[in-house]
Structure formats: structure tokens, C-alpha cells
Amino acid sequence: MTVEISPAEALSLWRGALSESVRRDGPDLSARQMAVLMTVYLAEPPHTVRGLSESLNIAKPAVTRALDRLTDLGLVRRKPDDQDRRSVNIQRTVKGSVFLSDFADLVVDSGRRAG
């Protein structure tokens, strides 16, 4: 399904969701942390630091720092790869799923208020 909106409408929608998000008690994620989190949840697994780095076109240390924060918050978890002990898979958590579901609701609500 394709939705046609103008750049100004898109920014307004994003602003509305972010504004509501920062007023809540939940974690205040950076754009990089949110991009990593959304990639883990919206793209097919498995996810590794290398894969996330390539997918987002950002350096592996930047991905690692974002994952450190997301792991501390319980939004993702790291699990050693059973096939290659040198590699770590990034996995989804229930808390992360709930966080993104709630954020998606904020985006939808922002669209309703704008429309």
C-alpha cells in the first residue's frame, strides 16, 4: 500500500510522533538507535553488527554503540551464533516489540491529528 504525502506532511507526521514520544516516560532514543532498532524489527533476521552496518551504511562501531544502549534498555538482545562463535546475532525482545508498537501508534495518531 502506497500513501502519497508531501515532504512537509511527512515531517509534520514525524514531528508529531517524536514530540509525543519525548513527553512519555519511555526511553529517548537517538535517530541512529531508532534506525538500528527498526531495522532489527522490520527486516528479516538474522541480524549481526556487520549486517546492520551494511544495511544502514554506517560504521560498525556506531552500530555497536547503538546496540549497547538498546541492549541496556532491553529492546534487543545479543546472542552468540551457534554456528560461528565469533559472531553475535541481534535478537528482538518483547519489550522492544511493545516499544515499536507503541511508537507506531504515535505515528498513526499524529497522522489522524494532522488529517
24-53 pLDDT, tens digit per residue, is: 888 989 999 999 999 999 999 999 999 999
Q: Is the pLDDT of residue 1 over 80?
A: no
The continuous run of DSSP H or E covering 79 comes out as strand 76-80
Closest CA to 10 of 103, 115, 105: 115
In a domain, 109, yes or no: yes
15-21 mean pLDDT: 90
d(CA 39, CA 19) in angstroms, rounded, equals 22
In a domain, 10, yes or no: no
Q: Count the domains in the chain.
A: 1
In a domain, 21, yes or no: no
**49: CATH:** 1.10.10.10
Query: Which range marks the domain in which residue 108 is found?
Result: 29-114
